[in-house]
Amino acid sequence: MLIDEFYRIGADAIHEHDFNRSFTVTGVVQSWSGPVVQWRPVRGKRAARDPEFDHLRPVAVLDALARTLAHRWVHGRPLCPLDWKQRLTSGMPRLFPFEPEVGNGWVWLIAAAANHLSAIDTCNDMRTNELKEKYGTLRWDIASVEFHQEADEYTSCVDRLSGYICEDCGAPGQIQALRGWDRCVCHKHAVPSIC
């Protein structure tokens, strides 16, 4: 399941298809944050570049995805704690001065990013200005006294990946129009519930 999710989300996030992958999984190693997918690029035909996301390196996107899935699968079967928003804001109050306005499926994406950002700059001067869903993807705006290229690239990768991860459960998903709103959902959550 972990490797399947890595291929499905990774291929879509860097605009590749299963028959034309530009990476291959070489293994999974255990870490403190969970099982980390190891991968390597495959030389060969590349998909056309997407001008909107040209500034993102596919390597950075796939590294962010490996970190995210490690957090998602750390306890085996992915289960989202109901109080994850409170845990996030109490655990890193300077980075998260308020609770995110997003669904539970993005908990692992945000948690992995928070851990990585804290390693970049120890989060001493980073502060979230905005963390919400807009047009089916995560919008994360971080302010900092100093500009951190790696932090900027990483939050852009997180925003990009959110368009391929179900906001409700964290499984592979895609942006769909549901009741007039764009949301990133898996096939299970694409069907509106009956009220």
Check: CB of residue 142 under 8 Å from CB of residue 133.
Answer: no
Check: CB of residue 170 under 8 Å from CB of residue 188.
Answer: no
pLDDT tens for residues 87-96?
889 988 888 9
102-134 burial: b if 16+ Cβ within 10 Å, else e: bbbbbbbbbbbbbbbbbeebebeebbbeebebe
Q: What is the pLDDT of residue 195?
A: 44
Chain centre to alpha carbon of residue 70 = 11
- In the predicted structure, residue 80 carries a pLDDT above the cut 60: yes
Query: Residue 135 is encoded by which pair of tokens?
Result: 């047009």
pTM (predicted TM-score): 0.86
> To the nearest whole number, what is the mean pLDDT of the chain?
85
Residues near 147 by Cβ (< 8 Å), separated by ≥ 6? none
Reference 151, options 50, 59, 64, 39; nearest CA is: 64
Give residue for tokens 């979230």.
Answer: 128
pLDDT tens for residues 91-134?
888 889 998 889 999 999 999 998 888 887 654 678 898 999 99
Q: What is the pLDDT of residue 148?
A: 76
Residue 28 per-residue DSSP state: E
